[in-house]
């Protein structure tokens, strides 16, 4: 699938219907609601071997096997009894070496426009939604796992049934209950891990969040540690120490990851030439870009572009 370049949201996005089409899963029936899908199936993690966004809100519960996955450049291991949650703005990618069908899960996928019409107390839930972004993968207790899987199974049953007078209301209520349950699970996790909410941890997280926001805005033009330190009004040394402590990666590693991720996406999903991509990402020439890309990925831009 070829997508046009969008300078505001350059990472390619797939809608719910496009994702199903790409999977080749013809067994999916179009339920009473076009805005959501609930399923108990083996995952298609190989679909995400190249970085992309899914224009949907996704809640999943692992049931079998495991798979590594990167959400916004943070790597997680999904496995049986793990909860994972990510939204339309998250970038997802799996390692190239992943076996395609090793991981299985119950998954609920909700289109943004459908989510907006749910009867959910957003004022009460918003603080938890924001925290979910920093904790997209959690371990579930047996009771939590059972409840979420039952909810998703009920939603699947209702969406695949015949359309009735109250079908939309039933599914909407079940999805709302599922979202509230996820909020409960996250709330329990935070109460059991008070260190996550400590002032010191929060201050470091705040700097890290500011840094990644700045990086998302400027990585195509600015690749120096000094630039980001100046924007945050701290020294490069302090920024490097702080980011390394909170994330386990250096500032330079984060910059390289963002630039490389963008380059991968442009190579796979745009019609731009390697030279055009080099200039788009502010490299002085194609040769310099090629060396940079190979240093960070182990292959040349042309090799990556041709990779299936």
Q: Per-residue pLDDT tens for 118-130?
A: 777 755 665 666 5
**Ranges of CATH 1.10.10.60 domains, the chain:** 199-306
Every domain range in the chain assigned CATH 2.60.120.280: 13-194
Q: Which of 33-42, 121-130, 263-272, 283-292 has the lowest mean pLDDT?
A: 121-130
Q: How far apart are CA 251 and CA 237, in angstroms?
A: 10
- If one compares 154 and 44, the residue with the highest pLDDT of the two is 154
Cα 263 to Cα 249: distance, rounded to the nearest angstrom = 20
Q: What is the pLDDT of residue 127?
A: 62
Size of the chain in residues = 308
Give CA–CA dist 101/261, Å, rounded: 24
Tell me what pLDDT residue 249 has: 81
Q: Is the pLDDT of residue 23 over 70?
A: no
What is the phi/psi pair of residue 175, to 5°?
-65, -40
Q: Check residues 192 and 215 and name the one with the higher pLDDT.
A: 215
- pLDDT for 216 beyond 80: yes
Q: How confident is the model at residue 92 (pLDDT cuts 50, 70, 90)?
A: confident
For 150, residues 6+ apart whose C-beta sits below 8 A from its C-beta are none
Q: What is the dihedral of CA 103, 132, 188, 58, to 10 degrees?
A: -40
User: Among candidates 72, 56, 50, 51, which has minimal Cα distance to 19?
Assistant: 56
- Determine the pLDDT at residue 10: 46
Which carries the bigger pLDDT value, residue 3 or residue 266?
266
pLDDT tens digit string along 140-191?
999 999 999 999 999 888 887 777 888 888 888 999 899 889 888 888 887 7
Would you place residue 34 in the very low, low, confident or very high pLDDT band (cuts 50, 70, 90)?
low
Distance CA 33, CA 160 (A): 9
CA distance 234 to 133: 25
- At residue 230, the pLDDT reads 93
90 SS3 class:
coil
Overall CATH class of domain 13-194: mainly beta
- Answer whether residue 31 shows pLDDT above 60: no
Q: Are 106 and 152 in contact (CB under 8 A)?
A: yes
Tell me which of 220 and 30 has the higher pLDDT. 220
Q: What average pLDDT does the structure give for the chain?
A: 78
Report if pTM > 0.75.
no
Cα(194)–Cα(71) distance, integer angstroms: 24
Other Cβ atoms closer than 10 A to 184:
13
CATH T-level topology, domain 199-306? Arc Repressor Mutant, subunit A (1.10.10)
**Cα–Cα distance measured from residue 149 to residue 218, given in angstroms and rounded to the nearest whole number:** 41
69 touches 94 (CB < 8 A): yes
């Amino acid at each position: 699938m070829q997508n046009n370049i969008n300078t505001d949201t350059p990472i390619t996005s797939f809608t719910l219907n496009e994702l199903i089409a790409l999977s080749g899963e013809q067994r999916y029936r179009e339920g009473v609601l076009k805005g959501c899908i609930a399923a108990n199936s083996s995952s298609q993690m190989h679909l995400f071997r190249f970085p992309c966004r899914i224009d949907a809100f996704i809640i999943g519960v692992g049931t079998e096997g495991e798979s590594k996955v990167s959400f916004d450049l943070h790597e997680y291991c999904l496995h049986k009894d793990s909860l994972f949650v990510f939204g339309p703005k998250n970038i997802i990618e799996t390692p190239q070496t992943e076996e395609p069908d090793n991981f299985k899960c119950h998954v609920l996928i909700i289109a943004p426009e459908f989510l907006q019409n749910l009867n959910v107390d957003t004022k009460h839930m918003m603080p938890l939604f924001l925290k979910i972004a920093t904790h997209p993968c959690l371990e579930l207790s047996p009771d939590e796992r059972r409840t979420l899987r039952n909810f998703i199974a009920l939603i699947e049953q209702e969406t695949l049934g015949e359309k009735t007078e109250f079908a939309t209301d039933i599914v909407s209520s079940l999805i709302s209950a599922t979202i509230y349950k996820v909020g409960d699970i996250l709330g329990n996790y935070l109460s059991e891990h008070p260190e996550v909410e400590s002032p010191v941890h929060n201050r470091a997280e705040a700097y890290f969040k500011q840094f990644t926001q700045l990086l998302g805005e400027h990585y195509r033009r600015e690749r120096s540690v000094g630039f980001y330190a100046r924007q945050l009004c701290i020294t490069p040394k302090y920024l490097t120490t702080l980011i390394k402590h909170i994330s386990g990666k250096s500032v330079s590693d984060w910059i390289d990851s963002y630039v490389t991720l963008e380059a991968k996406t442009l190579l796979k999903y745009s019609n731009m030439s390697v030279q055009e991509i080099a200039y788009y990402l502010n490299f002085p020439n194609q040769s310099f870009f090629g060396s940079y890309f190979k240093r960070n990925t182990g292959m040349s831009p042309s090799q990556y572009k041709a990779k299936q």
